[in-house]
Amino acid sequence: MPELPEVEVTRRGIAPVLVGARVQAVALGKPLRWPLGCEPAALVGRVVTGVGRRGKYLLLHLDTGCLIVHLGMSGSLRWMHQPSGQGPHDHFDCTTSHGTLRLRDPRRFGAVVYVPSLNDPVAHKLLDGLGVEPLSEEFLVRDWLVALRHSRQAIKQLLLSGRVVVGVGNIYACEALFRAGIRPSTPAQRIGPQRARRLHTAIRAVLAQAVELGGSTLRDFSGAEGHSGQFQQHAQVYGRQGLPCVVCGTPVCMERQGQRSSYYCPRCQRP
Beta bridge partners, 257, equal 260
DSSP H helices, the chain, are 4-18, 121-127, 141-149, 155-161, 170-180, 193-212
DSSP state of 133: -
Question: In whole angstroms, what is the distance from residue 116 CA to residue 123 CA?
Answer: 9
Neighbouring-strand partners of residue 71? none
Alpha-carbon distance values, 23 to 96, 97, 107, 119 (Å): 4, 7, 26, 23
- Which residues are CB-neighbours of 203 under 8 A, at least 6 positions away? 134, 139, 159, 165, 168, 172, 176
Residues annotated as part of the active site: 2-3, 56, 260
Q: For the chain, report the end-to-end CA distance as a whole number of angstroms.
A: 27
For CA atoms 233, 105, 53, 201, give the dihedral sign: negative
For residue 50, report the phi and psi dihedrals to the nearest 5 degrees: -175, 160
From the number of C-beta atoms within 10 Å of its C-beta (0-12, 13-18, 19+), residue 119 rates as exposed
